[in-house]
Structure 1
């Protein structure tokens, strides 16, 4: 499990353990929160292609799919 503070995810770097379409390195470009300020989703942008996708921030805790930093 990757331990981190979800409120400090903005502009953090992530590496996918199983790259697809040469997309291995990602940057968190946006943290989507509810009206109270509780984080709900993150927007990840692939460094190689620039493609963006949204996913639940809790998925980044799965160390079988994601690693913190660019490796």
Structure 2
């Protein structure tokens, strides 16, 4: 399991383990927090197509789906 500090996710780079639509490399472009500052969701942007998706940051901990950095 990847150890991730949710406060340091902004502008971090990720590689999809199984790319879809030729989208392999992603960048965290936004971090969504609640009133107390707890990170809830992130916005990932595909480098190739600029498509964005919002998801819970905990999904990045799944090593079957995501790898830290661009590989």
Alignment match, 1:54:
54
Matches within 5 A, 1:1-71: 1-71=1-71
Unpaired segments ≥5 residues, structure 1? none
Q: In structure 2, how many angstroms separate the alpha carbons of the residues matched to 1:11 and 1:31?
A: 9
Which ranges in structure 2 are unaligned for 5 or more consecutive residues? none
Partner-residue secondary structure (3-state), 1:63: coil
Quote the offset at 1:48 in angstroms.
0.3
Q: Hey, which bits of structure 1, 4+ residues long, moved more than 3 A?
A: none
Q: TM-score, normalised by structure 2?
A: 0.99
Cα deviation, residue 65, structure 1? 0.2
